[in-house]
Structure 1
């Protein structure tokens, strides 16, 4: 027990003994001595407590002196009025800055309200042992009918799309959108390419969605109506081949997302396309028209797309002039077999939302076309097809993760086409392509791509084309930098690449105008090196 705690008890003891002495009778010497000793003990206790209090006071005084010393060495503190004035000045400055910032934000919002910009671009260069490199996804004989090969390390061009859109909403809740897309593509590496440019307006259309007048009709509540020149919204392709599984485009109008039931939605459209004038005697542009019903079931897992095509002028008589002979020889040299006037196209697709139980996706598409629909990848884009032309194509592709550091994207496309341009012609091919990505760190990965394509083609002289029966294969290694690894579709990518390709010798003689068979680009093995960027947003 400390001295302070003893003080109350010491006082109580003294009072007790004092009172007792006054009230008690005369005591003996021994008793008086005992009481005196008790009083002495109590006094000693009080003295110890006093000494403890004094020590505590000295310690507190020392601490106060230290604080005063620190304060005396510090700068002079502002007065209360000065502090208030400073706070008011800061508040006024902040209010001014906030007002300026708010005005800037409002101005930007007014300028940027609903406006969006998107783009796709690729640009690269290829060298073949010091010569200009050759490439392109349709470089093989099978490419003449859509048999694309792997695109990695195989693109010598610069291609760009710039997409501008403006969206707004009316007071009644109806939303509108305007889209404008410019595109250009060249193969020259020069910085100024105006003479080689193919600048083009690829899309220009408007659409309306969430229409207020449709909200009381359940099947039209989510519908979007559109008109203009556009790509169909639900086109899709195998990116690794740069080849559309289905590509529908033209100028016309349609309606998307009609929902007869919760698990069934459909799109309806009518588009027009042009096949050119082909030197026709009447000088008219040959048009085709494509009516399409595209249906989706079970949360879009199943898709059934049907298109009918009509081109009444496509059998028009051609003028026999030297100009036509040179410009349209592929039509004039078909021994009187006229191109088709009609056709139809169908596609059945299953979409799997995973890669066989792993992260990713997988699609299977079966396509059939007849007449003008026999170009199954690009609907109604080929006006030279015969009415009896037929094409059957099967495509399987997807992408997924094999391991925490490895991704894979395989694809298989096979096609059989007959009576395309002249009776009894025959086109067959099978393409296998796979791309692998090994993530080294968050900004660097190694890309690998392998393509093998086998073909058996008998063009029967159409457009100067001969028979081609053989194989093609290609291997590419591409060290790649990107903003963040982890997904095949994250861009931009900056790549170095080395590509080795080879093919059967008899493929060199398929056509005198294609890449194969040209100087320094014959069968026997070709190395090509290059650099490329690709981006989209």
Structure 2
């Protein structure tokens, strides 16, 4: 067999082997590519599943956040921090004299009441009075908060169910207050701003006398809680009040003006120092006690009888500016003697500021008017079931409405309560007021001095006893009041001196009082 013959089968074998190897490699390559394709598919599917899981997790987290936000909103609404809320104060009851007829009464029933001298109110209120406060609070995405408030009030003394003819329904507050504003920084970081018609946020009172210690109100604007130092916060405001239809030199003509009260209210821990300036343009055109005389005059030329009015007294001119200040302390104990609380305030005013309680509320004050008032009260428990709330309110004012007039009065009051069961207590109130009033002939008032005293016993039912601020209450009461005869001659149109109301009076009644 020659070499050529040997090479042919060898070549063929090599060719066959090469072809086989080539087929095997091709098969292996195809298998690898398939596996890679399958792997890529599985990776893509895994990525898709991961993306879907992440999306579901994000959705769940968003749902949780939304749910928490809804829960937080519900909680804020339930607490009154957001959404609509309703608050109220009301009192209503009968005050019947020993003769079976409606009795005179009220915290300002005495002659000193004409210049702010209040006495104890328990068993001494013949009216129905109601305040309805509607609030809407909103919190925004940036954290800012807004409060809108409307307050309606009405008061009547009739016992009838339909009192439209006597109603004095009034919108007493309409304002918006903004707080937690993120753009406010530095001293204004925690400040809130407001505008509208409102009662100042920081007014405070002696509840048992139904007398504010300070009452700043009207229409205007301001800012609260400016942090001027570590222990110094201040409020700044301007309030407008209107004096309308006052007599001028020509008695037939009336005028009107507005008073503006600019106030800085400063807080240093428990101390408060308030200072105000007042201005009422053209109020010095006012004559606050114009007296006229009308006569019938016959004109001989026409033989017609006509009435002719002449001015006999113009009184004093009204002030067109004023000054007011108050120094107060808000205590967190009962005068340092035990648990409880107390408040004390010394107020002084001149000109238009001489109405020291309702700042800017009296346009008849003369430019020389001065007034100084002290307010003081506290609350504490004398024993586990006995609590007491004493109060003092006193004032001296001069040249108030006429040159040389002087009004001095002081009220001492104490409310005592004995908690008998979980929803019944006996309440007692004793009140005494001394007054020395020299009106210098203003509006026909006579000079009087003397004392007024009142004592009330009031069985009281309530849902739960404990502290002086638990309401509502339903009370029965019996009240004895007496005063010096001289006080009946102060003026002809006040309660004292009314027929059958001249002292040594018993009165009885029932009353409810509620706030929330």
The alignment's TM-score, normalised by the length of structure 2, stands at 0.78
Q: How does 1:397-408 map to 2 (within 5 A)?
A: 397-408=377-388
CA-to-aligned-CA distance 1:6-35 (integer Å, 9 cap, x gap): xxxxxxxxxxxxxxxxxxxxxxxxxxxxxx
Displacement of 1:394 in angstroms is: 1.2
Q: Which residue of 2 aligns with 1:200?
A: 170
Q: Which residue of 1 aligns with 2:107?
A: 137
Residue 428 of structure 2 aligns to a residue whose secondary structure is strand
Q: How does 1:402-417 map to 2 (within 5 A)?
A: 402-417=382-397
1:307 aligns with 2:248: no
Q: Which residue of 1 aligns with 2:450?
A: 470
CA-to-aligned-CA distance 1:327-383 (integer Å, 9 cap, x gap): xxxxx8754420111101000011210113423101111100000000101101000
**Contact 1:205 1:229 (8 Å CA) reproduced:** yes
Displacement of 1:320 in angstroms is: 12
Q: Which residue of 1 aligns with 2:203?
A: 235
Distance between the aligned counterparts of 1:266 and 1:436, measured in 2?
36
Report how many residues are paired: 422
Displacement of 1:226 in angstroms is: 0.1
Distance between the aligned counterparts of 2:312 and 2:424, measured in 1?
53
Distance between the aligned counterparts of 1:484 and 1:109, measured in 2?
26
Q: Which residue of 1 aligns with 2:331?
A: 352
Displacement of 1:468 in angstroms is: 1.4
Q: How does 1:271-290 map to 2 (within 5 A)?
A: 271-279=239-247, 285-290=256-261
Residue 192 of structure 1 aligns to a residue whose secondary structure is coil
Residue 429 of structure 2 aligns to a residue whose secondary structure is strand
Cα gap change, 1:377/1:125 in structure 2, threshold over 3 Å: closer, same or farther?
same
Cα gap change, 1:382/1:522 in structure 2, threshold over 3 Å: closer, same or farther?
same
Structure 2: which 5+ runs fail to align?
1-69, 295-310
1:185 aligns with 2:155: yes
Q: Which residue of 1 aligns with 2:399?
A: 419
Cα gap change, 1:319/1:167 in structure 2, threshold over 3 Å: closer, same or farther?
closer
Distance between the aligned counterparts of 2:225 and 2:345, measured in 1?
21
Q: Which residue of 2 aligns with 1:221?
A: 189
Cα gap change, 1:323/1:444 in structure 2, threshold over 3 Å: closer, same or farther?
farther
Q: Which has the higher helix share?
A: 1
Q: Which residue of 1 aligns with 2:84?
A: 115
Cα gap change, 1:260/1:422 in structure 2, threshold over 3 Å: closer, same or farther?
same
Moved more, 227-236 or 316-325: 316-325
Correspondence for 2:484 among 479, 504, 509? 504
Distance between the aligned counterparts of 2:288 and 2:271, measured in 1?
47
Displacement of 1:284 in angstroms is: 5.0
Displacement of 1:146 in angstroms is: 0.6
Distance between the aligned counterparts of 1:320 and 1:428, measured in 2?
21
Structure 1 vs Structure 2 CA RMSD: 2.4
Displacement of 1:319 in angstroms is: 12
Cα gap change, 1:258/1:429 in structure 2, threshold over 3 Å: closer, same or farther?
same
Cα gap change, 1:245/1:339 in structure 2, threshold over 3 Å: closer, same or farther?
same
CA-to-aligned-CA distance 1:449-495 (integer Å, 9 cap, x gap): 00011111101121221111101000000000011101101100000
Distance between the aligned counterparts of 2:266 and 2:464, measured in 1?
36
**Contact 2:287 2:315 (8 Å CA) reproduced:** no
Q: Which has the higher strand share?
A: 2
CA-to-aligned-CA distance 1:164-218 (integer Å, 9 cap, x gap): 010101211110010000000000000000000000000000010000101xx23
Displacement of 1:414 in angstroms is: 1.6
Distance between the aligned counterparts of 1:287 and 1:425, measured in 2?
26
Residue 486 of structure 2 aligns to a residue whose secondary structure is helix
The alignment's TM-score, normalised by the length of structure 1, stands at 0.75
Distance between the aligned counterparts of 2:369 and 2:465, measured in 1?
45
**Contact 2:290 2:313 (8 Å CA) reproduced:** no
Distance between the aligned counterparts of 1:282 and 1:440, measured in 2?
62
Q: Which residue of 1 aligns with 2:265?
A: 294
Residue 143 of structure 1 aligns to a residue whose secondary structure is helix
